[in-house]
Each structure stands twice: as structure tokens, then as C-alpha cells.
Amino acid sequence: MLNLEDFMNIRDLKQQGWSVSAIAGELNLDRKTVRKHLLNAPQPYQRGNPAPCKIDPYRSFLRERWEKGVHNAHKLLDEIRGRGYDGGYSQLKQAVNPWREEGRERAFVRFETGPGEQSQMDWGHFGNWGGRRLYGFALTLCYSRMRYIEFTQSQDIHHLLSCMVHGFRYSGGVTESVLTDRMKTVLLDQTGGELHFNQKFLQFAAYYGFVPRVCRPYRPETKGKIESTVRFVKQNFWPGISFASLADLNQQARAWMEKVNGQVHATTREVPSQRLPQERLLLLDEQPDYDTSYMEDRRVAKDCMLSYRGNRYSVPFRFAGKTMLVREPVTGGRIEIYSDIKVIAEHRLAEGRGVMVSDPAHYEGLAEQRRARGPARPPEGSPGVVELTPGPGVGRGFLAPEVQQRSLAVYEEVADVAAI
């Protein structure tokens, strides 16, 4: 009697096109047994012709939009509802799911680029540390397979660009193009075939002279080199790692990179560091690094303090009432305050909110300046100056609050509101 394993193997081999004799030889069974099983095997259930579906008239339109890269089901639902579709979301999902599977199962040819033509970058998630998520940035030069990895706790545009600058410096230059997935820090959206890039990322690309490129939707194989790098880091560097700080982690990552970039690569059969000189990179030479810092304009209050990220910081008193530029490097820990291009103050970055960070030196000379100027006095005739009749303790020019005349009805209205 056949066991379940033989039963399944016979069926699977037959579906693959094997003959009865070949199946019998492979499984060491009698041909009669195999033939008997195949004759008596239950036939798969065949559904009859499906009933008409509300989505049917829109399938050709959906397929056309799908081929143009519109793969968001909610967006497609909005579009066909604008064309008269009154069915549900589930019918749409059933219609497009086979197309998603096509993208996942499609075979592909490995795409290789020449020296200096392309690099690929991506993020990987490495759990949490210090109560915050931990990310690994990876950059790979496609020709030489040189790898760069850096850990951060933010994926915002400032950290992305900072990691890219460090990766360029590590490799010694920039490739003609940089390929990434459709992350929001790079690509804001797509209208038809038109890509709308993040303007800050475009400025960064122009500064270094590379062309930004993004993968086609649901085609991860187009950036397979960086996908394999992130996976390689998770399998070969991350297990069992321990570190005291982010700087410690990145120092260990740097030492590990030096090691793996000096070993034979499984695909090229060459050592990445030895292949690197063949890369025709756009050399950085003496070009200054792109400033990836957070920068915001802030107005200085009369107390010589400005607000930044929920905390207050002092500046020299002579800048009261003026607008300053606050610069916070991605590395964190401090801020610099600029007037034009000159640094006028530096502070440690306060933790939490509602903290006041003050430098006593910023107020030095303020008292002397006030005494030298004498008491402030508006011009005669201006609001707020009242000439009083001389009397005990009162002299001419005494500053009094400005008084406005109001109708008694105003005060009656205020009293009515207060009584409610």
C-alpha cells in the first residue's frame, strides 16, 4: 500500500510531465502500481464559468494602468469609480493579485554594469536600541562590489545624505548613477511616467554630479546587489554583535567592512578592494562635503533667547530682535547659531523640552550699554508720554501707560461676559 509521501510524489512527477516508467524507476515502484494510482486519483475540482463581475468592464483599463506603474489598489479604485464602477474593493484586489504574482515569479537576467556606471543603496532594519529603531544604511558599487555600511537611528533626508557622503568618501568617489528603491526621501510620487523627486535630493545629486534612479515598482531584482548586501550584513556581521554606543557600533562595522572588502566576492570571483581602482569614479578631490545639517531660521527675542526644537538658547545681546540661522549637524549633540556666515553662538543640544540654555558671556556689557544710553524716553508728543503737573515725587516727563478712551458700553459687555 502506498504511503502518503509516495502518493504525493507520483502526482507531482506526473504534473511535471514524467512518464509512468520514469516515475516507477525514480520511486522504485511497480509500473502497475503507479498506473493504478494515476487512474484512480481524484480529479481536481473544476469551477464552472464564473458569473459576470462588476469589475469585468474595467479590466483592460486596470491592466493598462498597471503596466504604467500604478500598483496602488486604493488609487486604482478611485480611478475606476470615476469611470462609473460601483463595486467593492475586494473585487479589485482579486483582479490585480495575479499581476502582483507575475512580478514576484518572473525570472530575470542578472544585470551587470561597467566600471563607475552605477551604485545601489538601501536601508535595513536592525531592531531597536536605546528605545529607538536602529537602521543600517548600505551602499554598494555595482562593478567592484565595494560595500559600505553605517548605522543610524533615523531614515530622514538629512541622515540619508550624510550616510551617502560618508559612503562616497569611503570609496573615494561617485558613480555616474545611484539606484535606490522608491523611498519618500528620494521619490515623492509618480504621475503616469513622470517621476517627482525630492528637491533636496536633486540638489544633492547635482552637487556630486550623479543621476538619481529608482527601481520599477514590485521589481526588487533591479537592485539585487544592494538587497544581497543588506542580507549579507544581517547574516554575517549582526548576529551576536554587542556595542556600547552608536559610534562603537559603526567603528566595529568599519573594521568588518575592511575585512569583507578584502575577500574574494562570490559572484565576481575577485577581491572588491583590488577591483576598486578599475572603477571610473567621479573623484571628490578637494571638494567640500555637502552640508547635510538641519538648518532653520529663528528670531531672537528681547531676552536674547531664541527657540529651537522646544528649547531656548541665548545669543549675544546685540542680536536681540534679529533673525539667526540655527545649524544642527546630523551627528547631534550641539547647535551653531549664525549671523550671515559667522558663528555667533554654540550650545550643547538640550534634551527634552522646555529647557533654557544660557551663556552668561552673551549678556556681558548689556548693563553698561544701558547706563551709557540713559533712561529710554520716546519723543515728545508720542503715545505713552504724559506731561504731569509737578507735585510730590513727580517730575516732568514721567513715563505713564498709554490710556485709551472707551465707551462705558464696552465695560458693561465685559462685565456681562464675566458674570456668565
What's the confidence (pLDDT) of residue 353?
92
Amino acid identity, position 75? K
| pLDDT score for 31 | 78
394 in any annotated domain: no
The whole-model pTM stands at 0.62
Flag whether 389 is in a domain. Answer: no
Domain with residue 257: its CATH number is 3.30.420.10
Domain identity same for 83 and 220: no
Exposed, middle or buried by CB within 10 Å (0-12, 13-18, 19+), for 306?
A: buried
Domain endpoint, select from 240, 260, 283: 283
Residue 13 sits in the same domain as residue 142: no
Q: Are residues 19 and 85 in the same domain?
A: no
47 in a domain, yes or no?
no
Decide if 353 is inside a domain.
yes
- The secondary element (H helix, E strand) that includes residue 214 is strand 211-214
Residues 319 and 244 in one domain: no
* Same domain, residue pair 216 and 355: no
CA 53 – CA 63 distance, rounded (Å): 16
Q: Are 175 and 210 in contact (CB under 8 A)?
A: yes
Closest to 316 measured CA to CA, from 356, 358, 349, 363: 363
User: Mind listing the pLDDT tens digit of every residue in the chain (420 residues)?
Assistant: 566 666 667 776 777 667 777 777 767 778 778 777 777 665 554 455 556 788 899 988 998 887 777 788 888 898 899 999 998 888 888 888 887 766 554 544 456 788 999 999 999 999 999 899 999 999 999 999 999 999 999 999 999 999 999 999 999 999 999 999 888 999 998 887 788 899 999 999 999 999 999 887 655 545 555 577 888 899 889 988 999 999 999 999 999 999 999 999 888 889 999 999 999 898 887 889 999 999 999 999 999 999 999 999 999 999 999 999 999 999 878 999 999 889 999 999 998 899 999 999 999 888 777 777 766 555 555 554 444 344 444 333 333 334 344 444 433 443 443 344
Same-domain pairing of 257 and 362: no
Element (H, E) at 179: strand 177-180
Answer yes or no: are the C-beta atoms of 388 and 394 closer than 8 Å. Answer: yes
Q: Do residues 127 and 222 share a domain?
A: yes
- pLDDT for 111 equals 60
Q: Are residues 159 and 67 in the same domain?
A: no
Q: How far apart are CA 341 and CA 112, in angstroms?
A: 45
Residue 12 lies in a domain: yes
- Assess if residue 417 is contained within a domain: no
Q: Which residues pair with 357 in a beta bridge?
A: 313
Q: Is residue 402 part of a domain?
A: no
Same structural domain, 250 and 207: yes
In terms of DSSP H, where are the helices of 291-337? none
| Cβ atoms 342, 358 nearer than 8 A | no
Assess whether 222 and 142 both reside in one domain.
yes
Structural domain total, the chain: 4
169 and 278 in a single domain? The answer is: yes
State the pLDDT at residue 102: 65
Residue 343 lies in domain: 294-366
What local confidence, expressed as pLDDT, does residue 383 receive? 53
Alpha helices by DSSP H, 41-88: 59-67, 73-81
End-of-domain residue from the set 258, 283, 308: 283
Do both 134 and 157 map to the same domain?
yes
Domain-embedded: residue 122:
yes
